[in-house]
Structure 1
């Protein structure tokens, strides 16, 4: 072991105790010593003592103690951001290490729309970020089944989680927006108002009857016959026809973020049908404590955040 350089101070002696940092982070997040104590399983007095020790160590006041409440000082706010980020990085890296020892094959269920338009194009990033995780992906159309926990580890569904004990996280909303390809617009007069839509160019998915009628009512263009146009069995066929330039369809805005960004599709109008349920992601109860499943869930949520 190399000899310590004369006069060098060990890093640990220049850092506050982990216990005091945990107390400060919890108290700062809750703005309550009592809530922090409940989270950490200690007394409010112990939290107060740890924070007082931290303030003495730093030579700075982190909280203003007011009547029945505590408020972070400007220095406390800045320090909380740094400490919170450090804890999150430690948690993320720890989860990665746990995941390496966890079940590497994760069975995931997703709707066909989401799998084809959003999830599969992002899998190369998952492989680069978490090479230890391998997916067994099942995609299905229609309403989500009553998922069998023994068959899936993680699920992404449109609407309520079919597993009653699941703890879903919101991936993104289910807004439907009118889109077409630049090829469709080429050589046509500009479409600047919903009332200028060609009813014969409306693209429908039979499994989503009524979407155009609802959207035209929202856009105050009810004079257009919502029953006319080109009909396909499902949204994926309708999507392919739209990309090919056959017309205009209503599609989930968040699932075609890549198409809109890359110019394959154009959003004609901002009006969106917002009554659709959210897209949810959750681990099945048997896997909700799995490090690998939680790692994948957090990666999915981060990918969704990137598109906003």
Structure 2
């Protein structure tokens, strides 16, 4: 057997094996049936193996031919898939963003349509999970992390603006039979706990030692978006981020019953490989993201100023 075989011969064999006919293979390849027959005979000579039984005008794969055909047909299918994928990638750039679930669902997804309008040739692929992405594998371009800490080796981290953390609840709860007008009123209400946040009700209680809260009771969630949703449903009072609850506050589904009682923390960070941070698609997304975050921060500061006393 020769070390190399003719690509044209393999192509003719693949078509004939897949279609079960030299004539149909010739029609697909835009050649004559005799040309297909010649290429397959050449391949058989190169391999030293008969691939087809010639029975009158019909052809049937030999046992060796069937085994070879399975591999060759699968290989051609993979080549076709790869060709389609590279063609699709060439028509538009793809940016893969990994994010924590709450930031993705509460803030980022609401804005992706707007980003798509400004960057029609850049497609976003969004993944969401609590576990940090492994940027060195080359699958993810950007990782938006919560409480990010120092960046991993070879990466850089740009911190988000500080999160404003405040008690929030549904308007009906704040104005109900047990109104919430000051911190002491929380003692009469259910506390909703976000278990993965940097600060929680225990931290809030340390700053308000005169307020006695039952920190052992109340529903607990491992995602902020679930705690915020529970507060919207009137289940109790949550302590969470204005960034994540922006939509619920803007629409009046949640209120801040005493806006002068808040904490600031450095919550999220934008992480990417140092070697890739200046790629156009990453730079464009980073600039857009931080412009949007600046707008949200400006809104949050104004909301806090206006909220004091509004619902008392």
Cross-structure match for 1:284:
273
1:181-205 CA-to-partner distances (Å, cap 9, x unmatched) read 2232343343221111145510113
Call closer, same or farther: CA 1:105–1:235 in 2, change over 3 Å. Answer: same
Cross-structure match for 1:139:
128
Cross-structure match for 2:165:
176
Aligned length: 207
Cross-structure match for 1:241:
230
**Do structure 1's residue 105 and structure 2's residue 63 form an aligned pair?**
no
Alignment partner of 1:292: what SS? helix
Q: Distance in 1 between matches of 2:285 and 2:93?
A: 11
Call closer, same or farther: CA 1:256–1:146 in 2, change over 3 Å. Answer: same
Q: Distance in 1 between matches of 2:239 and 2:102?
A: 13
**How far 1:106 sits from its partner (Å)?**
0.2
Q: Distance in 2 between matches of 1:130 and 1:172?
A: 24
Cross-structure match for 2:112:
123
Maintained 8 Å contact 1:155/1:281: yes
1:185-238 CA-to-partner distances (Å, cap 9, x unmatched) read 343343221111145510113445971111022134442222222223432322
Call closer, same or farther: CA 1:224–1:152 in 2, change over 3 Å. Answer: same
Cross-structure match for 2:293:
304
Call closer, same or farther: CA 1:168–1:232 in 2, change over 3 Å. Answer: closer
Alignment partner of 2:287: what SS? helix
Maintained 8 Å contact 2:193/2:219: yes
Relative to the length of structure 1, the TM-score reads: 0.60
**How far 1:173 sits from its partner (Å)?**
1.4
Call closer, same or farther: CA 1:295–1:176 in 2, change over 3 Å. Answer: same
What runs of 5+ residues in structure 1 fail to find an aligned partner?
A: 1-99
**How far 1:118 sits from its partner (Å)?**
0.6
1:245-286 CA-to-partner distances (Å, cap 9, x unmatched) read 111011112222232222121122332233x43321133234
Call closer, same or farther: CA 1:286–1:194 in 2, change over 3 Å. Answer: same
Alignment partner of 1:301: what SS? helix
Cross-structure match for 1:190:
179
Q: Which of 231, 239, 242 does residue 253 from structure 1 map onto?
A: 242
Alignment partner of 1:260: what SS? helix
Q: Distance in 1 between matches of 2:116 and 2:245?
A: 21
Q: Distance in 1 between matches of 2:188 and 2:197?
A: 17
**How far 1:107 sits from its partner (Å)?**
0.4
Maintained 8 Å contact 1:181/1:244: yes
Q: Distance in 1 between matches of 2:243 and 2:171?
A: 19
Cross-structure match for 1:153:
141
